[in-house]
Amino acid sequence: MNRAAAPSAVRVLIVDDDPGIAGLLGRYLDARGMQTHSTDSIAGMRALLRQRAFDVVLLDLGLPDGDGLDALRDLRAEWSGPVLILSGRGEAVERVMGLETGADDFIDKPFDLRELLARIHAVMRRNRGDTVEPGPLVLDGLRFDAATRTAYDREGVPLALTSGEFDLLMSFARRPQQTLSRDELMNATRGRPSGPFDRAIDVQVARLRQKIERDASNPRLIQSVRGAGYRLAQRPSPD
C-alpha cells in the first residue's frame, strides 16, 4: 500500500497481517491527510524502515514471521519514534510487556478509529514539541533539550530515549519537586487518564530510571510518593 500525500503529512507505517484491518486503517488515515504504507510481516517492516522515513508505527503483535514484541525490542535498538501497539491480546501482562519493550501506547482490538486518530495526533504533537519549552536543561549532569528532543548522559553520550520516555522526562522537568499523579502523567504523555489496572506509567518510569539514574535500584531523581504518584526531586537548571 502506497498512497500519495502532502510532504508535511504524518507518515504512518501499518504492520498488520490482516488485510481487512490494514486496508481499513490505510483508507481512514489517508482520508484524514496522512500518508500510509502497510506490510504484513516483520521482515517487511524492517525493509520499509530502511527505505523510508516514518513518523509513527502501528504494530500488530501476531505476525506470521515472528512475535511483535520481539520485533519491537529489535526496533528499539535503532529507531526511537512513536510505536503504538494494536492487538487483540489485551491482557494486562501483554500491555506491561509491550510498554516494557518500548511501546508508546497499547490499543486493544477492536478499537474506535477516532480514538486511534486522536492517539496518533497526541504522540505526534509531543514528538514535534509543539508546545513552548524552556531551552536546554541540565539535571544531575544529564543534558536534554525539548526543542531538539535530544538527551545526553553524564559523559555526553546520546541517551536512547523513546518518544514516550522523553515526554515523561519533560513532564517531570516542567513541574520539578511537585508530586504528579499517574493520571496527570498519563494525560501529559498519552492524552488520556490511566485506567484502574493501567500500569503504563509505572512501567515507563522504571524504564526511564534505568537510563537516567546513577543507581536505578535506589532512585534519587524520580522518587515514588506512596499512594500519590512520582516527583522529580531536583530542579533542572539552564544549560
Domain boundaries, the chain: 11-128, 137-238
Strand order in the sheet with 179-180: 179-180, 229-232, 222-225
Q: What is the DSSP string of 9-33?
A: SPEEEEE-S-HHHHHHHHHHHHTTT
Amino acid, single-letter form, for residue 201:
I
**pLDDT (0 to 100) of residue 126:** 67
Mean pLDDT value across residues 215-236: 95
pTM over 0.85: no
CATH 3.40.50.2300 fits 11-128, yes or no: yes
pLDDT surpassing 80 at residue 105: yes
Could you check whether 11-128 and 137-238 share the same CATH topology?
Answer: no
Span 137-238 CATH architecture: Orthogonal Bundle (1.10)
Grid coordinates representing 76? 528499539
Q: How far apart are CA 216 and CA 231, in angstroms?
A: 15
The set of residues, in sequence order, having a beta carbon less than 8 Å from that of 208 and lying 6+ positions away, is 161, 165, 168, 169, 222
Instruction: List the Cα angle 44/45/49 in 5-degree steps.
Output: 115
Confidence band, pLDDT 50/70/90 cuts, at residue 102 = confident
Q: How far is residue 116 CA from its own chain's centroid?
A: 14
pLDDT surpassing 90 at residue 192: no
Share the mean pLDDT of the chain. Answer: 86
Lowest mean pLDDT among 18-32, 117-131, 156-170: 117-131
**pLDDT (0 to 100) of residue 101:** 85
Confidence band, pLDDT 50/70/90 cuts, at residue 188 = confident
Strand-pair category, 229-232 with 105-108: unpaired
Grid coordinates representing 88? 487483540
Confidence band, pLDDT 50/70/90 cuts, at residue 109 = confident
Grid coordinates representing 197? 489496572
The 3 state secondary structure assigned to 205-225 is HHHHHHHHCCCCCCCCCEEEE
Q: How far apart are CA 72 and CA 84, in angstroms?
A: 10
Mean pLDDT value across residues 41-52: 94
Confidence band, pLDDT 50/70/90 cuts, at residue 221 = very high
Are the C-beta atoms of 57 and 98 separated by less than 8 Å?
no
**pLDDT (0 to 100) of residue 113:** 94
